[in-house]
């Protein structure tokens, strides 16, 4: 038996508590409710061909209600490469005792008919993914791999193929924010900005506020703001040659650069405005910079370097 931390809710020693039904059992083959009588077939024998994760839970256990759905979600993403068996400890007390279940939720993974890993207590989804990755020895779930493939296609300019993959992902996981964001990006890449805006508007507010979708939404807003400025760069450059402190001309130049895909030049122009007069137009240059950073994403090299330069100006 693996070393399992004593965390979570203590299991009463005096019989069942609560109702007979636990969290939703899920798919019949990948996720199933099992019991003492079927433990050998559903867990021990099954684990000879695919890893089986056993989730010990009970109706009265609040941490179980947090862990169960997250664990089911991650297992489903692996498309059968790992399976989940759910055991209600109230209804299977002898088995729970044999498995030394002292607190729940408790999770034990089986391979080759033997327990190989486990943990107790509710843990973050990221930790669940690491747990399953270790069991499967794979480089990400099939869903993660599909997301990576779609992103690569989008980067290469094949928006149509990327769009199709994102749609397939959403058929399996409608709540996947990264897939929704990717689908919107594929529409934008195909020149369908209005369709992308309509699509995003239909999503729940809590999903729209997440980092993946917020980046796409901000990018669309910036595209609308800068759409009419891409042909005016020469005019703004001439104005700045006559007056380097013409902040409006430099601001318009930044918008023109952004509209023309020159994001680094746009950031440089806006940082220069902040350096010369950070309070100009109620801090409009800094506000626009933050929008560009969000649209590009926090890990984009232009964002990283732009934030460094902005910080140097603000705190010098």
Tell me if the bond preceding 70 is cis, omega within 30° of 0.
Answer: no
- CA dist 219 → 65, 78, 80, 182, 262 (Å): 37, 32, 37, 13, 14
Q: Which domains does the chain have, with CATH numbers?
A: 9-136 (3.40.30.10), 142-221 (1.25.40.10), 233-314 (1.25.40.10)
Return the active site residues. 61, 64
Residues 179 and 166 sit within 8 Å (Cβ to Cβ): yes
204: how many CB neighbours lie within 10 A of its CB?
10
Task: Give me the pLDDT at residue 17, please.
Answer: 35
For the CA atoms of 9, 10, 14, 18, the dihedral, rounded to the nearest 10 degrees, stands at: 0
Q: pLDDT tens digits for the chain (316 residues)?
A: 333 333 344 444 433 333 333 333 345 689 999 999 999 999 999 999 999 999 999 999 999 999 999 999 899 888 888 999 999 999 999 999 999 998 999 999 999 999 999 999 999 988 998 899 889 886 667 777 888 889 999 989 999 999 999 999 898 788 888 899 999 999 999 999 999 999 999 998 888 887 779 889 998 888 887 765 555 688 899 999 999 999 999 999 999 999 888 999 999 999 999 999 999 999 999 999 999 999 998 889 999 999 999 999 999 7
- DSSP codes joined into one string, the chain: -------SEEPPSSS--S-S--S----TTTEEE--TTTHIIIIIIGGGTS-EEEEEE-TT-HHHHHHHHHHHHHHHHTTTSSEEEEEETTT-HHHHHHTT--EESEEEEEETTEEEEEEES---HHHHHHHHHHHHT-SS-HHHHHHHHHHHHHHHT-HHHHHHHHHHHHHH-TT-HHHHHHHHHHHHHTT-HHHHHHHHHTS-HHHHTSHHHHHHHHHHHHHHHHTT-TT-HHHHHHHHHH-TT-HHHHHHHHHHHHHTT-HHHHHHHHHHHHHHHTTGGGTHHHHHHHHHHHHH-TTSHHHHHHHHHHHHHHT-
Residues 105 and 22 sit within 8 Å (Cβ to Cβ): no
Residues in a beta bridge with 53: 84, 109
Task: Give me the pLDDT at residue 22, please.
Answer: 36
Task: Give me the pLDDT at residue 139, please.
Answer: 60
Residues 252 and 268 sit within 8 Å (Cβ to Cβ): no
The angle formed by the CA atoms of residues 156, 160 and 161, to the nearest 5 degrees, is: 70
């Amino acid at each position: 038996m693996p070393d399992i931390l004593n965390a979570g809710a203590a299991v009463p020693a005096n019989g069942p508590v609560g109702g007979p039904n636990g969290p939703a059992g899920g798919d019949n083959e990948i996720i199933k409710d099992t019991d003492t009588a079927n433990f050998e077939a559903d867990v021990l024998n099954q684990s000879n061909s695919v890893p089986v994760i056993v989730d010990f839970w009970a109706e009265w256990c609040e941490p179980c209600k947090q862990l169960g759905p997250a664990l089911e979600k991650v297992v489903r993403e692996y498309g059968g490469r790992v399976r989940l068996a759910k055991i209600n400890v109230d209804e299977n007390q002898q088995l729970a005792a044999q498995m030394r279940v002292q607190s729940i939720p408790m999770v034990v993974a089986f391979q080759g008919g033997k327990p190989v890993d486990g943990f107790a207590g509710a843990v973050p989804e990221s930790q669940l993914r690491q747990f399953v990755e270790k069991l499967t020895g794979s480089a990400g779930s099939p869903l993660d791999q599909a997301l990576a493939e779609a992103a690569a296609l989008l980067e290469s300019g094949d928006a149509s193929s990327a769009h199709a993959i994102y749609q397939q992902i959403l058929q399996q996981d409608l709540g996947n924010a990264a897939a929704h964001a990717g689908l919107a990006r594929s529409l934008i890449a195909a020149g369908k900005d209005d369709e992308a805006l309509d699509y995003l508007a239909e999503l729940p507010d809590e999903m729209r506020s997440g980092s993946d979708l917020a980046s796409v939404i901000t990018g669309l807003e910036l595209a609308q703001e800068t759409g009419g400025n891409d042909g005016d760069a020469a005019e703004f450059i001439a104005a700045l040659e006559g007056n380097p402190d013409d902040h409006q001309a430099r601001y318009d130049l930044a918008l023109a650069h952004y509209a023309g895909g020159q994001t680094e030049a746009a950031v440089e122009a806006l940082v220069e405005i902040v350096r010369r007069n950070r309070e100009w137009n109620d801090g409009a240059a800094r506000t626009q910079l933050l929008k560009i950073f969000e649209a590009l994403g926090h890990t984009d090299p232009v964002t990283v370097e732009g934030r460094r330069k902005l910080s140097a100006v603000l705190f010098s």
